[in-house]
Amino acid sequence: MQKSFNNGFLFLSSLLAAGVLLFASCGSQEQKPAAEKEKYVLPDTIARSLKIDTVSISQLVNSITLTGKVGSDEDHVVPVNSMVSGIIQDVKVMLGDYVKEGQALALVKSTEIAGYSNDLVNAETNLRLSQTNLQKTKDLYKSGLASMTDSLNAEISVQQAQSELNRVHAVLKINGVGAQGEFVVKAPISGFVVQKSAINNMAMRADNSTSLFTISDLKTVWIQANVYESNISLIKQGENVDVTTLAYPGRIFKGKIDKVMNVLDPASKVMKVRVVLPNPGYVLKPEMYASITVSDKENAKCLSVPSQALIFDHSQYYVLVYNSQTDIKITPVQVLNTVGDRTFIASGVNDGDKVIGSQAILIYNALNS
């Protein structure tokens, strides 16, 4: 009986020892992958299209960004008014239409124009009568039945009638009288209709200060930008600026500060500056909002990287320093400022380091996973 008990005890002890060894073996196998984390290797498909840039030393540039709104070049904006009172008929253009110089914009039925037409008939009639009277007077003078004074007076009458007819024609031309005796509102310049208040059957007076149309050629535009008091010292007349808009993301328009107003608005406490820039293709429209970047180069140099190489995560900027497809390091950097497509770095990288300039966030996430 004792021998059987001893054999059973030995068997249980052997099983327990085997279990402990098996558990220890499994534990060591589970801990091994955690100790040896698999190294990230950049895939060939990404590497072929990857953009690699170099950290370089550049002249330090400080910049400020102003806000503003696109407007017409006021030196090339013409308001169009009616020179007579009357009823507007047949408005021919709409807001935003392009018109050519001399093109009819609208017609106006007017009693003043009817009076001008009557003056034309009277002047033409008087001229014909004066010419007929002159011919008769000359015939009488030749036959001795009229004096030289009578002949001279007849010639003067013809000259006066011709002068009156010329005056009436000039008035009609200035007022743009059409074939049916209407006043024709014409475009004084070629450009776009940027304001329109004229509507059909609207009564109007010649002394009304509101223009019927406003035309701007939009070949150049002005931007009125706001400068806060703390930035006034950084603004200089004649300085080149970069302009961006919401309508054309990524597109930079080159302009120049044409005028500094030198007074602060009492309500908003900002100073206005005027930026002038060309508008090829008329892509910039009045009332568009714009951002204006003013850059100031300092007498100092600093490390810089392409702005697309930066990654911002957990309140810190990073770049990916590239040595090979198997050696990519996440490197924290201290940013001074960003101007356009370049960012100036105070520390974290060295001159000549290679950094990943495209798909950086994708690779950054892969390295952290």
Phi-psi region of 246 (alpha: psi -120 to 50; beta: other; left: phi over 0): alpha
Q: What is the pLDDT of residue 23?
A: 45
Please check the confidence at residue 1 and state whether its pLDDT lies above 90.
Answer: no
Copy the structure tokens of residue 173.
Answer: 């031309």
Q: What is the pLDDT of residue 16?
A: 46
Distance separating alpha carbons of residues 30 and 173, to the nearest angstrom: 100
Q: What is the pLDDT of residues 255-310, one digit of tens each?
A: 999 999 989 988 888 999 999 999 989 999 999 999 998 877 666 788 999 888 99
Please check the confidence at residue 22 and state whether its pLDDT lies above 50.
Answer: no
Q: What is the pLDDT of residue 170?
A: 79
Q: What is the pLDDT of residue 178?
A: 55
Query: Could you tell me the pLDDT band of residue 12, with boundaries at 50, 70 and 90?
Result: very low
Q: What is the pLDDT of residues 86-102, one digit of tens each?
A: 888 889 999 999 999 98
Query: Could you tell me the pLDDT band of residue 37, with boundaries at 50, 70 and 90?
Result: low
Distance separating alpha carbons of residues 166 and 183, to the nearest angstrom: 19
Q: Taking the model in full, what pTM does it have?
A: 0.55
Per-residue pLDDT, averaged over 48-65, amounts to 85
Please check the confidence at residue 30 and state whether its pLDDT lies above 60.
Answer: no
Per-residue pLDDT, averaged over 180-196, amounts to 86
Q: How many CA atoms lie within 13 A of 135 on its CB side?
A: 5
Q: What is the pLDDT of residue 26?
A: 47
Copy the structure tokens of residue 343.
Answer: 């960012």
